[in-house]
Structures are given as C-alpha cells and as structure tokens.
Amino acid sequence: MSWDLVVIGQGYVGLPVSQHAVLNGLSVAGLELNTQTVAQLNAGHSHIGDVSNSDVQNMLSRGYVATGDLEVLAEAETIVICVPTPLGDSGAPDLSAVESAVRSIATRLRPGALVVLESTTYPGTTDDLVLPLLEASGKRVGEDFYLAFSPERIDPGNETYGLKNTPKVVGGVTKESTRRAADFYGRFVDSVVEVKGAKEAETAKLLENTYRHINIALVNEMSKFCHELDIDLWEVIDAAKTKPFGFQAFYPGPGVGGHCIPIDPNYLSFEVRKKLGYPFRFVELAEEINNSMPGYIVRRIQDLLNVDAIALRGSKVLLLGVTYKANIADQRESPATDIAEILDRAGAVVSYNDPYVPEWGFSDKRLVSEIDISEAASSADVVVLLQQHQIYDVGALSIISKRLFDTRGASRDSSAHRL
C-alpha cells in the first residue's frame, strides 16, 4: 500500500499532524515504536489531551493506522519526523531519536519522497545531520528525495489556535524542497510561510520560545523585588498593558514548564557556545532566574508560616494544580515537581489537588489527588495555587484557607498572598 504520509512519533505533535492530514483526505500511517501506544490508538483510544477518543475513532474510520512496522517508510510519499528532542544530562541536545528515525528512513526512502523534520533542534541540524545521513546511501537531495524543516507550533489546550489555523513555517535545504514542503502542508494548513532555508526555519522556532523565556524571566525577577518594595506587580502589569503599542504582557509564576520554554532556548545557547565559543547571555540569565522560582516560592511559603511562628518542618502544605499549564493534564517540566521536592526535603507534609492528575509523584513519593478540596484546604497550614485551573474558586479558597499563597495572580481578596 502507498501512503500519502507517514508520521514518525504519535505524541503531542505527531498525532495532531496525523489527525489534520487524514481529515483532509490524505492516507496516513502513524509510526510509533511504543507498542502499547500503537495498540491504544488502533483501539480508538487517545493518550493526549488535545485529541479525543472520538477524534481517533474518526481517524480510524478514514483509514488512519498506527503501526510499529518500519517498512511503511518505504511506501510513503511524505515522511514527517515528530520525535522527542530532550536535553541530555550534560545540557546538550539529545538528538538520538532524530538520528535513529533518519537512519530508518535512509534505507527505505522511495524515489521522490519528501522528508520533513518537525522536532525542535539547534540551527543546522537538518543540513548538517539529517542530510548527510540520508545521502550516505548514495541518494541525492533534489534528485532522489527532498528535505525540509518545519517547526511544530502545537500549543496544548489552546482552544483558539490549533495546527490548521496557525501559520506553518517551512524551510528546505533546496528551493524545490521548500516548495514541495509548502505544497504538502498547504493541503491541511490555512497559511504556509516559506523562508530562505532550513536553518532559518529552525532558528525561527527557537526565537519564538527564547522571546517568551526571557520575558517571563523579566517579570519573575520583578516579582521578587516588587514584593520587597511592597509594590503590587499585578497592578503594574495591568496598567502597563493599557498602552496600545510597544508592550506585551507577561506574567510571573512558580517557574516555567512544558515541552518548549524550559528546553528550546537551550538549543540556541548550546549552538552559540559550540560554534562561536561564547555564551548567549540573555538565555543563560533567563534560565538562572526561571530555575530559581521554585526555591523562591518555598521561601515565600516559609515566610508566611514564620509570621505565625509555625515551622515549615511538619507543616501541611496543599498544592493546587501540578500541571505546567491551566486546564490540561500535561505535566512535562512542571515546576510543581521541584517545589514539592524542596518542601519534602524541608520536612513539610505535602498534599495536592489537580482535577486533571489523579495520581502524582515526586522524589520517592506517590500521592493521590485530594478529593474534597474544601476539607483539604481548610485543614492545611498553607494552600499554594500553582496552576489556575477553571475549577478552582480562588475567592472561596481564600476564605476557607488559613493561608492562601497565589502564584498566578488569580485572587483579588486581601486575605490572599500574591506572588
């Protein structure tokens, strides 16, 4: 069988790509090495929040198949790589999954096929890593196959912008590769933006998230000194954003999380150091500030308890919301984990509530979400709002809690303590 598209990786990025392609009439195979995920998808069950069970069942009815068989690559007109690219223990990008995927493609590539890398990486990966691996067997780009990079822009839980109506940036290693990638995405994405090459497309993704990373660090740093100077930073931000030009509001919080902000800027910093021999100081400073927030949150909790001569050790701390973003179940890189671990080492008794996370763990602890939030809040020494899920009535919580520490600026009650 011939496939219009094979998507390598069926996670937070790959499954939505498969979904939108199949809904627009393309024949799609989702290549996934996790056998449990393959079985789950083929049974009509989704494992990510933005794609429901009924969505997967609809995909299956239109011909979608999840598979672990690498031979589907030989039957694909287009192959899109959506595999994880985490940071390794040394802080360097771990591209082993990308490299493994490309090696699998190289020995099976059909003539004229288009290969697109969507996994976030450092500038030059498509030209310097992917291209040589594909050409190692004697095939040549522009003659035997086409190669491009198109950064994923999936924003989990975003009800306004999804894959279809978010402009898709594409940059090929040749002009014809760019054109073919643009034509491919144009079949199921409203707007495609062509750039000079793959390096420009790779760097655009990193710029987007570095911009956010640095601006979040700015307001996180401001939150610390505004607290010391008795300045309400939330009021400051509300006032500043009334300016209709030259300002975009960013908000402080307990740290950064998710699949992009804590990771992507480090790819750019890594490449600058490796290729040019000097640091990307903005990124490294932002990393330092944002990584300091969990420790700062715990110090603020301790300060609240100290006012009433209560020790942090032995105190009951209830954490509300342990996901990295509101109203989703995604916990990747959530600062809640670091906060819980610091509290646990200090001897606090940590509990949590999160309607999206029934079970949660940190260090060697495994916890179950508190069912009765009112009872849990009233019995805790301090309640800490880490994520502003819609289900939380912050006004009511500020009344029933002995102490409410709001890290998201959700409360307006004077009895709550805001970051």
Greater pLDDT, 261 or 147: 147
At which of 180, 196, 212 does a domain end?
A: 196
Mean per-residue pLDDT for 86-92?
A: 75
Pairwise CA distance, residues 409 & 417, whole Å: 9
What range does the domain containing 119 cover?
Answer: 3-196
Mean per-residue pLDDT for 27-43?
A: 96
Give me the CATH number covering residue 282.
3.40.50.720
SS3 state at 403: coil
Do 59 and 174 have their domain in common? yes
Give 31's contacts (C-beta < 8 A, 6+ positions apart): 6, 7, 8, 9, 10, 67, 68, 69, 70, 72, 73
Q: Which of 33-42, 86-95, 170-179, 191-200 has the lowest mean pLDDT?
A: 86-95
Do 254 and 178 have their domain in common? no
* pLDDT digit string, tens, across residues 167-205: 999 999 999 999 999 999 999 999 999 999 999 999 999
Greater pLDDT, 265 or 409: 409
Query: Residue 68 in contact with residue 104, Cβ under 8 Å?
Result: no
309, 312, 315, 321: CA torsion to nearest 10: 120
Q: Give the pLDDT confidence score for residue 413 in this predicted structure.
A: 66
* Token pair listed for 207: 């710029």
Among candidate residues 165, 163, 182, the one with its CA nearest the CA of residue 174 = 182
Among candidate residues 185, 189, 181, 195, the one with its CA nearest the CA of residue 148 = 181
Among candidate residues 78, 160, 148, 154, the one with its CA nearest the CA of residue 113 = 78
Phi first, then psi: give them for residue 121, nearest 5 degrees: -160, -175
Query: Residue 21 in contact with residue 4, Cβ under 8 Å?
Result: yes
Do 242 and 95 have their domain in common? no
Q: Give the pLDDT confidence score for residue 415 in this predicted structure.
A: 67
Do 95 and 230 have their domain in common? no
Do 41 and 148 have their domain in common? yes
210 in a structural domain: no
* Token pair listed for 371: 């069912």
Do 180 and 236 have their domain in common? no
Pairwise CA distance, residues 178 & 56, whole Å: 30
216 in a structural domain: no
pTM for this predicted structure: 0.90
Mean per-residue pLDDT for 22-34?
A: 96
* ∠ Cα 203 198 200 (to 5°): 35
The residues pairing with 193 across neighbouring beta strands, listed in sequence order, are 169
Pairwise CA distance, residues 334 & 283, whole Å: 19
Residue 92 above 90 pLDDT?
no
| Side-chain-side CA neighbours of residue 27 (13 Å) | 8
At which of 163, 196, 229 does a domain end?
A: 196
Do 312 and 171 have their domain in common? no
Do 122 and 266 have their domain in common? no
Do 37 and 145 have their domain in common? yes
Residue 306 above 90 pLDDT?
yes
Domain count, the chain: 2
Q: Which of 99-108, 202-211, 264-273, 361-370 has the lowest mean pLDDT?
A: 264-273
Do 394 and 324 have their domain in common? yes
226 is catalytic: no
214 in a structural domain: no
211 in a structural domain: no
* Token pair listed for 59: 């995909």
Q: Which of 216, 260, 286, 350 is catalytic?
A: 260
209 in a structural domain: no
Q: Give the pLDDT confidence score for residue 137 in this predicted structure.
A: 84
Give 312's contacts (C-beta < 8 A, 6+ positions apart): 298, 301, 302, 305, 343, 346, 347, 348
- Write down the number of H helices and E strands in the chain: 14, 15
Burial class (CB within 10 angstroms; exposed 0-12, middle 13-18, buried 19+) of 21: buried
Mean per-residue pLDDT for 260-284?
A: 80
Q: Give the pLDDT confidence score for residue 310 in this predicted structure.
A: 96
Which whole-number Å values give the CA distances from 298 to 222, 335, 383, in the listed order?
Answer: 17, 12, 12
Pairwise CA distance, residues 351 & 379, whole Å: 11
SS3 state at 271: helix
Do 140 and 246 have their domain in common? no
**Sign (positive or negative) of CA dihedral 275, 277, 283, 289:** positive
Mean per-residue pLDDT for 374-395?
A: 95
Give 306's contacts (C-beta < 8 A, 6+ positions apart): none
Q: Which of 87-96, 301-310, 314-323, 380-389 has the lowest mean pLDDT?
A: 87-96
Residue 146: its H or E element: strand 145-149
Do 398 and 346 have their domain in common? yes
* Token pair listed for 156: 């989990």
At which of 160, 179, 196 does a domain end?
A: 196
Computed over every residue of the chain, the mean pLDDT equals: 93
* Highest averaged pLDDT of the listed ranges 145-159, 174-188, 251-265: 174-188
82 in a structural domain: yes
207 in a structural domain: no
204 in a structural domain: no
Query: Residue 163 in contact with residue 17, Cβ under 8 Å?
Result: yes
